[in-house]
Amino acid sequence: MPMADAVPAISIADLSFQFSNNTRSFSLKISSFKIEKGERVALVGPSGSGKSTLLGLICGVLSPLDGSVCVLGHHLEKMSGRERDRFRANTIGVIFQQFNLLPYLSVLDNVVLALEFSKHRHLSISNKQSKAEKLLTFLGLGEAEMRHQKASQLSVGQQQRVAAARAFVGEPPLIIADEPTSALDQDRQAEFLETLFSQQKANDATLLMVTHDLTVAKQFDRVLDLRDICDLSKNQVAGS
C-alpha cells in the first residue's frame, strides 16, 4: 500500500447529485470517502447503482447539487465548466467503456489529440508524437498500424490499447477507467490489467476503475463497493 499523502487524490464530502427526467429520477448521496494518492481502487456495485455517475462527478463532467468533490486538492464544485474541462485535460486520463476513439483519425493522432487539450501534459514532453509512438509500441501496436490505420479499422483489443495509451500519454496523476476490460476475453483482460498497473506504477498515478468482475477487483489495493458509501434504497437498482 502506498504511503498516505496529506492531500488525497480524491475526497468527497456531503455529496448529493440527481438526474431527473419526466419518467424517473436517480439520486446519489455520499457523506464521505477518500482515495489516497497512488492507490489502485476498484469500484464495484450493482448495475445502475451509479458507478459511472460517480466517475462523471469525479471527472467534472457532472456537477453535484450539493457537497464537495475535491480532486488532488482542487474543488471541482468551485470551478466553472471551462475550468473543469481544463483541469480534466491536464490531470485525468480517462478510459471509457466504449473507448470513445475518433474513428476517422489514425491511431497515433487519437493519442496525440489527448495532449492537444492539455497545457500541462503538452508542456511536460518535448515531442508529443514520439512520446505517443513510444507508448503505443510499449502497448503492442506496430508502426504501420499506428500511422496508417484509422481507429475504426482496429479490433476491440487494439482499440482498448489505444484508449489506454490516450489515457496515459503525458502521465496524468489520476486515471479513471469505466469497465475497460468488459469487452475483452480472459487472456486479453489479464494482459490489459498488467499494462494498466505497470503504467500506473511507472507514473506514480492513482487509479480508480469500475468493474463488475470480482476476480479483476481483487487485484486492486482496495475494493470500494458503492453500497458501502451511499444509500441506494431510494433508487430502483438491480440486485440491491
CB of 235 to ligand ADP, least distance (A): 6
Q: Which of 11, 49, 106, 158 binds ligand ADP (CB under 6 A)?
A: 49
8 forms part of the interface with ligand ADP (CB under 6 A):
no
Three-state DSSP at 88 gives helix
181 binds ligand ADP (CB under 6 A): no
Distance, in Å, from the CA atom of 131 to the CA atom of 211, rounded to the nearest integer, reads 29
Instruction: Name residue, grid cell 498488467.
Output: 194
C-alpha to C-alpha distance for 36 and 15, rounded to whole angstroms? 18
* 29 touching ligand ADP, by CB under 6 A: no
Range in contact with ligand ADP (rule: CB under 6 A) among 51-59, 74-82, 161-169, 200-208: 51-59
DSSP state of 68: E
Q: Biggest alpha carbon distance in the chain? A: 52
Query: In terms of Cα–Cα distance, which of 71, 69, 115, 70 is closest to 89?
Result: 115
Residue 217: name the closest of 185, 159, 177 by CA: 177
Q: Toward ligand ADP, which CB reaches closer, 100 or 130?
A: 100
| 26/168 with CB nearer ligand ADP | 26
15 or 114: CB nearest ligand ADP? 15
Q: How far is the CB of 49 from ligand ADP (least distance, A)?
A: 4
Q: Which residues bind ligand ADP (CB under 6 A)?
A: 19, 21, 26, 45, 47-53
